[in-house]
């Protein structure tokens, strides 16, 4: 045998990587004493939904007023206290929607509506006009501050960029004082757009200048939103930017630091979480990550990531499927099945090894709950492959394990237990798994719980009454009576067994004794010419009370073939007899 000690180097691609530059080389930041890696997230941030603004403007077909209202009502029901509803100056539709919320009194007093505006007087005025009559409102002002935008888009320098932000802030304040009634609690948010690409000290200068206009204090906060407008660096670099900004911003104690992270590099959630470690107080994003290009950060993922660490997300997420249904209806976009927490398949395992671990995990949890006196709330969640309990977000356990050609005994056994309450012995699980594997190899696709039951019945419990299944087999138990004397005496069995042949059906009477009912039944079958030996036996109740049903499983050697049989009957004895006949019929088939 020949082995090699090194893996061959990959062949360089022909892609022109040289045309791109390292972000940290073009946007250097020095923070050798960074503290954020040692921090922990211990409470939920303030949440701000941008579904009705950033999310809506990214849709192929933007939401109509009815769907916007449905989305708004969902966000309120979920517990969002800050909701950005649009860009009122950008379109009549956005302006009219804002006014409809005012006129229908749809905004609860503890919910703050936010609207976006550029730093231009006519746009600022139109935006603020839309807010008249709201109990609480925040005007969100932005202008682009990065070198790329200063050079390519606006053809201005740092001084002109800073002056535009200051003038915009002054206009916002003066027009809010003029236009909004004293009954409106007004707030102010400023975003240096493309913060992530802006020289960090210049971003601090611009924000400080805007703060000087707003004059924040203990009862007059300012929100400074620091977006990864286009995500262009690794999450740790953004965290360094946030920590540096928070350390060096004058009046930091009066500013709410907010992040608005996009997902261009696929790390929007990580970027947000590291930003929280670095000092961010507030998170903007969309449900399921809708938004321009690859989307805004997915607020549901961030919130449930916190939840999985024992932090209350302070959002109502206990019916994830209903939330997803409304979002899909309003946006006309599907939530992919592997989307964290909310996708169709995220709590589902097809892999055999995963299924076996999940099955054992649930069994372990049941034991720990029993040891805790049945108090489930005192037992921490600790089940393999399931970071949170699916029930916490409104999912049932029925979809946790699904069977296909990749599945093993664990998945088959789990479905039989959870859907039919049949706790199969381990060796029987292996046998049934092989039967199911052959079915999937032949038919393909997924084996649903109902299909699995049909396969099981067809193999172990055949009956003429089962439409489309094979006849019950060679033998069938018609009746049985067992009498037992004292402990020293053997069990006496009187039974009637039907035999199916090509000529029809005939009945055989059995009258035997044995060391218990099963032994007596085996003796009777041997008298009919069946070479049988019982190797293993298990049984359990399927239900409780006077009408309880029992399931029995017997491993038998029949004519030299070892396999299992199953019987179900109100009588545990008759269930055992049926299980033996099941094994015999399977061997003779």
Do the first three CATH levels of 42-331 and 352-460 match, i.e. the same topology? no
Q: What is the pLDDT of residue 469?
A: 42
What mean pLDDT do residues 382-400 have?
A: 86
User: Which tops the pLDDT comparison, 472 or 583?
Assistant: 583
Query: Please, where are the H alpha helices in 149-298?
Result: 158-179, 200-214, 235-248, 268-278
Spatial distance between the Cα atoms of 237 and 462, rounded to a whole number of angstroms: 65
Q: What is the pLDDT of residue 437?
A: 84
Please determine, for residue 454, whether its predicted confidence score (pLDDT) is greater than 80.
yes
Of 276-280, 408-412, 465-469, 548-552, which gets the smallest average pLDDT? 465-469
Q: What is the pLDDT of residue 99?
A: 96
Spatial distance between the Cα atoms of 185 and 494, rounded to a whole number of angstroms: 88
| DSSP-derived secondary structure letter, 563 | E
19-28 pLDDT, tens digit per residue, is: 999 998 888 8
Share of the chain above pLDDT 90, in %: 66
Q: What is the pLDDT of residue 467?
A: 41
User: Which tops the pLDDT comparison, 385 or 204?
Assistant: 204
Q: Taking the C-alpha atoms of 208, 247, 231 and 221 in order, what is their torsion angle to the nearest 10 degrees?
A: -50
Q: What is the pLDDT of residue 345?
A: 83
User: Which tops the pLDDT comparison, 51 or 377?
Assistant: 51
The class of domain 352-460 in CATH terms is mainly alpha
Q: How confident is the model at residue 440 (pLDDT cuts 50, 70, 90)?
A: confident
Of 540, 538, 536, 532, whose CA–CA distance to 569 is shortest? 540
User: Which tops the pLDDT comparison, 168 or 468?
Assistant: 168
**Which CATH number, 3.40.50.12280, 3.30.160.270, 1.10.10.60, 3.40.190.80, labels domain 475-588?**
3.30.160.270
Q: How far is CA 589 from CA 128, 399, 470, 473, 584, in A?
A: 81, 34, 11, 8, 9
Q: Which CATH superfamily is domain 42-331 in?
A: Aldolase class I (3.20.20.70)
Q: What is the pLDDT of residue 399?
A: 61
**Helix, strand, coil distribution of the chain in percent, nearest 5:** 45, 20, 35
106-153 pLDDT, tens digit per residue, is: 999 999 999 999 999 999 999 999 999 999 999 999 999 999 999 999
Q: What is the pLDDT of residue 471?
A: 54
Residue 289, phi then psi, degrees to nearest 5: 75, 25
Q: What is the pLDDT of residue 104?
A: 96
Please determine, for residue 333, whether its predicted confidence score (pLDDT) is greater than 60.
yes
Q: What is the pLDDT of residue 466?
A: 43
Neighbours of 62 (CB within 10 A): 18
Tokens of 385: 């492959």
Residue 577 CB partners (closer than 8 Å, separation 6+) = 477, 480, 495, 517, 518, 521, 567
Pairing assessment for the beta strands 491-501 and 504-514 based on DSSP bridges:
antiparallel
Q: How far is CA 320 from CA 324, 346, 360, in A?
A: 6, 12, 26
Q: What angle is formed at CA 443 by the lines to CA 438 and CA 444, rounded to 5 degrees?
A: 95
534-555 pLDDT, tens digit per residue, is: 999 999 998 766 567 899 999 9
Q: For 247, left (φ over 0), alpha (ψ -120 to 50), or beta?
A: alpha
73-87 pLDDT, tens digit per residue, is: 999 999 999 999 999
What mean pLDDT do residues 477-490 have?
A: 75
Residue 28 CB partners (closer than 8 Å, separation 6+) = none
Please determine, for residue 404, whether its predicted confidence score (pLDDT) is greater than 60.
no
Query: Please, where are the H alpha helices in 372-448?
Result: 409-420, 426-443
Please determine, for residue 485, whether its predicted confidence score (pLDDT) is greater than 70.
no
Tokens of 488: 């020293």
Q: How confident is the model at residue 4 (pLDDT cuts 50, 70, 90)?
A: low
Please determine, for residue 576, whether its predicted confidence score (pLDDT) is greater than 50.
yes
Q: What is the pLDDT of residue 206?
A: 98
243-265 pLDDT, tens digit per residue, is: 999 999 999 999 999 999 999 99
Q: What is the pLDDT of residue 402?
A: 54
Q: How confident is the model at residue 188 (pLDDT cuts 50, 70, 90)?
A: very high
Of 2-11, 291-300, 413-422, 512-521, which gets the smallest average pLDDT? 2-11
Locate the domains of the chain by residue range: 42-331, 352-460, 475-588
312-327 pLDDT, tens digit per residue, is: 999 999 999 999 999 9
3-state secondary structure of 403: strand
Please state, rounded to an integer, the average pLDDT across all residues of the chain. 90
Please determine, for residue 232, whether its predicted confidence score (pLDDT) is greater than 50.
yes
């Amino acid at each position: 045998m020949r082995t090699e000690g090194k893996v061959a180097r990959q062949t360089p691609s022909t892609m022109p990587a040289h045309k791109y530059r390292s972000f940290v080389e073009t946007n250097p930041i020095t923070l050798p004493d960074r503290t954020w890696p040692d921090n922990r997230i211990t409470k939920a941030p303030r949440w701000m939904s941008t579904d009705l603004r950033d999310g809506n403007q990214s849709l192929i077909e933007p939401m109509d007023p009815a769907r916007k209202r449905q989305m708004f009502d969902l966000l309120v029901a979920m517990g969002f206290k800050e909701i950005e509803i649009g860009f009122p100056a950008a379109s009549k539709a956005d302006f009219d929607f804002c006014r409809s919320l005012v006129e229908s009194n749809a905004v609860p007093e503890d919910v703050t509506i936010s609207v976006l505006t550029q730093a231009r007087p006519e746009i600022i005025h139109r935006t603020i006009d839309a807010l008249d009559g709201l109990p609480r409102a925040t005007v969100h002002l932005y202008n682009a501050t990065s070198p790329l935008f200063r050079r390519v888009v606006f053809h201005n320098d740092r001084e002109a960029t800073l002056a535009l932000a200051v003038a915009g802030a002054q206009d916002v304040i003066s027009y809010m004082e003029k236009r909004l009634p004293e009954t409106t609690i007004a707030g102010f948010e400023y975003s240096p757009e493309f913060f992530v690409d802006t020289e960090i000290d210049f971003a601090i200068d611009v924000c400080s200048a805007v703060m000087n206009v707003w004059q924040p204090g203990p009862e007059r906060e300012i929100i400074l939103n620091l977006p990864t407008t286009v995500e262009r660096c690794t999450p740790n670099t953004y965290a360094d930017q946030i920590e540096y900004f928070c350390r060096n911003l004058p009046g930091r104690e009066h500013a709410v630091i907010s992040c608005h992270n996009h997902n261009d590099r696929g790390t929007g959630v990580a970027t947000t979480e590291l930003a929280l470690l670095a000092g961010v107080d507030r998170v903007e994003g969309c449900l399921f990550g809708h938004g321009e290009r690859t989307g805004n950060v997915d607020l549901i993922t961030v919130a449930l990531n916190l939840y999985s660490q024992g932090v209350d997300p302070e959002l109502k997420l206990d019916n994830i499927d209903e939330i997803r249904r409304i979002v899909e209806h309003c946006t006309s976009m599907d939530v992919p099945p592997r989307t964290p927490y909310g996708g169709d398949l995220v709590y589902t395992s097809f892999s055999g090894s995963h299924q076996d671990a999940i099955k054992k995990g649930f069994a372990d949890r049941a034991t720990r709950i029993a040891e805790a006196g049945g108090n489930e709330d005192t037992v921490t969640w600790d089940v393999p492959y399931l970071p949170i309990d699916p029930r916490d977000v409104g999912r049932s356990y029925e979809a946790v394990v699904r069977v296909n050609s990749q599945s093993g005994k664990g998945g088959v056994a789990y479905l039989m237990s959870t859907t039919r309450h049949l706790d199969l012995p381990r060796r029987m699980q292996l046998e049934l798994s092989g039967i199911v594997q052959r079915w999937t190899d032949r038919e393909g696709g997924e084996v649903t719980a109902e299909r699995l039951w049909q396969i099981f019945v067809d193999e172990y419990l055949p009956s003429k009454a089962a439409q489309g299944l094979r006849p019950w087999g060679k033998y069938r138990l018609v009746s049985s009576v067992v009498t037992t004397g004292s402990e020293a005496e053997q069990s006496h069995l009187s039974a009637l067994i039907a035999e199916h042949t090509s000529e029809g059906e005939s009945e055989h009477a059995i009258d035997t004794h044995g060391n218990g009912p099963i032994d007596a039944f085996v003796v009777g079958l041997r008298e009919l010419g069946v070479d049988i030996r019982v190797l293993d036996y298990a049984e359990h109740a399927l239900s409780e009370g006077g009408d309880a049903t029992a399931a029995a499983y017997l491993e038998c050697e029949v004519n030299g073939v070892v396999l299992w049989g199953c019987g179900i009957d109100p009588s545990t004895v008759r269930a055992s007899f049926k299980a033996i006949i099941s094994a015999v019929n399977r061997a003779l088939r």
